[in-house]
Amino acid sequence: MPHSSTTNHSKSQTGISYQNPEASVTLIDIPTSITYAQGESLYTRKNILLSREPLEAPIPVLNEPLLGPSSQMIGDDEYHTAIAELVKLAIEEIQAAHSSSWCLPRKWIDPSQQDLPQKRKAADGGEDLGARGAAVNKQGRRRHGGEDAKLDAAGYSMKKALDMDPSAPYLIPQGIVKLHTVADIRQTVYTNPTDKTSLLCIRENGLSGSSTFHVPGQSTFMQAQIEPSVTAFKLATLQLLTPRSSSEMAGQFDFLLLDPPWPNASVRRARSYQRQRTIHDAAQLLLSTQLEDHMAPDSYVGIWITNKARIREMLLPPPACCHLGPSAQNDSSQHKRASPPPPPAAPSFNLFDRWGLELVEEWVWIKTTTQGEPITSLSSTWKKPYEIMLLGRKKPRRTSDADNDDATPPPSSSSSSSSVKRRVIAAVPDLHSRKPSLKSLIEPLMPAQNYRALEIFARNLTDGWWAWGDEVLKFNADHAWTSRTCDGGPG
């Protein structure tokens, strides 16, 4: 599956404003990085992704807890001290080389909103696709009104094909396809086999409006909740991703990226994503993806985590995971009132070991203001100004296991903290929980130009990649973009 190599594009197109030769420190603009990830098209040349007004000053954090057992829920002081020092050095490096704003010009939504406006549910109870209200896309109807019969025919052919074999991947024809219900896109893998952007125009049951989504060239997606769609997704990968070498199996990827809905009371993800209530629930969700079946030899897996030590411990076996601070018993004398008991130990899932992964890198996204200041204090207990992506690499199989599919994975060989490479990505925050696109940053690590990538829990499509989750079209909806001819500022 071909893709556009970052080396063929200027840094400004990818959203990168600064990067050192080692690529260990990068300043990137989030909306521009996502736009670049859509590939070159007339659509992205004419439109700009809506964003949030960039922060000009840090956010004050009130009611910070006392040090002690409550802070243990966040993580190991020694670990976060090391991250803070790394971030300080990275900020100083960028400031020495970059004197202008730390984000590119934006067009933003109403400042009172944290996210794009939510559409009411379709009449058939379908998922929220991230589209706006029930307003009719009048511009689209005027532009394509003369082709209604042709578009309806294409949509009917699609529905008929899906009715015959719902598990079969559907190849989206070039141009525009009109579907009659939201249900027509559920539980089915769609792929755009062309190099050009295609459009899906979806009407809503019982509503007069429609929603239009742009599908980048060579991209593939399944709009569905993860657990119920595992089998259908796996069948589609087996059909579309044939082995490229004798060491590879069908349905495998070179890079897999996950941004799971971790249990977190402060995270207000979109309604269609149900947050996991416990660490155990989150682990079961991740295990249900059958990730190990989709990892090619020497593949990389990136997973965004929160700053809670228990989540890191769930993924990594000691000593790669951080350790909790002093015990509650030793700290209790420092408090005038009784402290709550420490949280129970995290279950020993060791997901990296189960998946056969070794931790090789940590990517630290430091959230900054437009002037390059961390949005909160680096010493904050509850609200760290950074998020971390763990980057693992698949361990080679033992020779004795080559003919034994049931062999247990080799003993843990988790990297020590001293051998794990750390990179810093600085970016001014965008819409709530929206991360920088990693397309331009991960490509230098990929084995070849025709690498295969999959994003699970994705909220936008990426040129040449696969996407799987129940919000994959959210930021590919027409309403998430606006014309480039508009001036920056509120939309």
- Give how far Cα 429 sits from Cα of 246, 263, 472, Å: 43, 21, 20
**Predicted pLDDT of residue 319:** 64
**Predicted pLDDT of residue 331:** 38
Q: Name the more confident of 101 and 344.
A: 101
Chain segment 396-409, per-residue pLDDT in tens: 876 555 455 544 44
**Predicted pLDDT of residue 335:** 38
**Predicted pLDDT of residue 241:** 95
Chain segment 203-222, per-residue pLDDT in tens: 765 555 678 899 999 999 99
Q: Which tokens is 450 given?
A: 């025709």
Range name among 84-88, 204-208, 334-338, 381-385 with the lowest pLDDT average: 334-338
- Supply the pTM of this predicted model: 0.81
- Give how far Cα 187 sits from Cα of 165, 221, 460, Å: 12, 10, 17
**Predicted pLDDT of residue 488:** 61
Range name among 29-33, 72-76, 226-230 with the lowest pLDDT average: 72-76
Place 259 in a pLDDT band, splitting at 50, 70 and 90. very high
Percent of the chain with pLDDT over 90: 52
Place 169 in a pLDDT band, splitting at 50, 70 and 90. confident
Place 272 in a pLDDT band, splitting at 50, 70 and 90. very low
Chain segment 293-336, per-residue pLDDT in tens: 999 999 999 999 999 889 999 999 776 665 433 333 333 333 33
**Predicted pLDDT of residue 18:** 97
Across residues 445-451, what is the average pLDDT? Answer: 89
pLDDT for 283 beyond 90: yes
Chain segment 139-155, per-residue pLDDT in tens: 333 333 333 333 343 44
Q: Which tokens is 281 given?
A: 């629930």
